[in-house]
Amino acid sequence: MRNPFKRPGILHRQGAGALPYARIAWEQATAQAELHGALAAIGQRPDFTALVFTEAAAFPSALYNEQLLCQPELEHAAQFEDAALRRHWVTAHLLLRHALAAVTDMPAGSLKFSAEPCVRCGGPHGKPVLEPAGAQRRIHFSLSHAAGFAIAAIGSSRCGVDLEPRASIGRAELVARQLHPAEQKELDALAPPERAEEFTRIWTRKEALLKACGVGLSRGLDQVYAGVRPTSGQPDWRILDGLLPGPLHWSAAVETPGDPQLIGIKLTEGWAKPRL
């Protein structure tokens, strides 16, 4: 099996203390034309990464069209018994389609997806990929949704994104023992309330990284360090993270030798400025 990380011992810049949250100037988009205008130009760059997020309750009504989804997506959506959860799931996948359509200059409903071979067993259930049209270069993406919000990462190199509400103190205590030893040490130094906050941050960073590499949580959680107090650098990956309303923690992992230049877009109905 190939090593999806290229080399052991992930990542980050050197430095003492917790890494600061990323500061992103989120642009506002309320219609497909605005989203296309914001993403089309950067999609032509050799290297780019974009984050697009939305709230299901504020998703532009003009962009909510379930007929843009493919048959497997529609079949999955039909399995939801709760109407609100169904709408949240559909909104997340429409967000991804509209963002990819803007970057690729393709109709959102024409985008086709497949899966890479699993990096563990070779089966046809690995990381989702966008099938390129003609000579179009490969565009990487990742999607996460939680608590009525959705966020997508799109880029020219491998990327992963995760979105999580703050974990309870009980869950943080229970799951923390499964993390990397260095991450456990970081958490043990904190009081329970701060530990839950820090655990959520570490968890989203780890899941974003594992999703970017196409292994998900199938890889041992104790084998990969994604904490916020790194002691050694690794040039292959960078992880940025921050907070959205809720509050929700988000993390984005990008395969890049330098600091990624992110563009952030909030897709929403109306003209209210995001409060971030």
Class of residue 16 by CB neighbours under 10 A (exposed 0-12, middle 13-18, buried 19+): exposed
Q: Of the spans 95-99, 137-141, 232-236, which averages the highest pLDDT?
A: 95-99
Per-residue pLDDT tens for 53-80?
999 999 999 999 999 999 999 999 999 9
How far apart CA 33 and CA 101 sit, in angstroms, is 11
How far apart CA 244 and CA 276 sit, in angstroms, is 6
Q: DSSP per residue over 171-210, as a string?
A: HHHHHHTTS-HHHHHHHHTS-HHHHHHHHHHHHHHHHHHH
Higher pLDDT, 133 or 144: 144
Q: How far is CA 208 from CA 82, 132, 203, in A?
A: 27, 23, 9
What pairing do the DSSP bridges indicate for beta strands 248-255 and 27-29?
Answer: unpaired
Q: Categorize the per-residue pLDDT at 234 as very low, low, confident or very high, splitting at 50, 70 and 90.
A: low
> What confidence score (pLDDT) does residue 219 get?
64
Per-residue pLDDT tens for 82-138?
999 999 999 999 999 999 999 998 999 999 999 988 877 777 778 899 998 765 788
Residues 6+ apart with CB under 8 A from 134: none
Would you give the DSSP letter of residue 217?
Answer: G
Radius of gyration of the chain from Cα atoms? 18
Inform me whether the pLDDT recorded for 233 exceeds 60.
no
3-state helix, strand, coil in the chain (%, to 5): 35, 20, 45
27-267 homologous superfamily: 4'-phosphopantetheinyl transferase domain (3.90.470.20)
How far apart CA 27 and CA 99 sit, in angstroms, is 14
Question: Locate tokens 């810049």: which residue?
Answer: 13
Contact 230, 19 (CB under 8 A): yes
How far apart CA 143 and CA 162 sit, in angstroms, is 7
Whether this prediction's pTM lies above 0.85 is answered by yes
Contact 152, 141 (CB under 8 A): yes
How far apart CA 223 and CA 215 sit, in angstroms, is 12
Lowest mean pLDDT, pick from 133-137, 163-167, 189-193: 133-137
Lowest mean pLDDT, pick from 89-93, 108-112, 223-227, 232-236: 232-236
Class of residue 269 by CB neighbours under 10 A (exposed 0-12, middle 13-18, buried 19+): middle
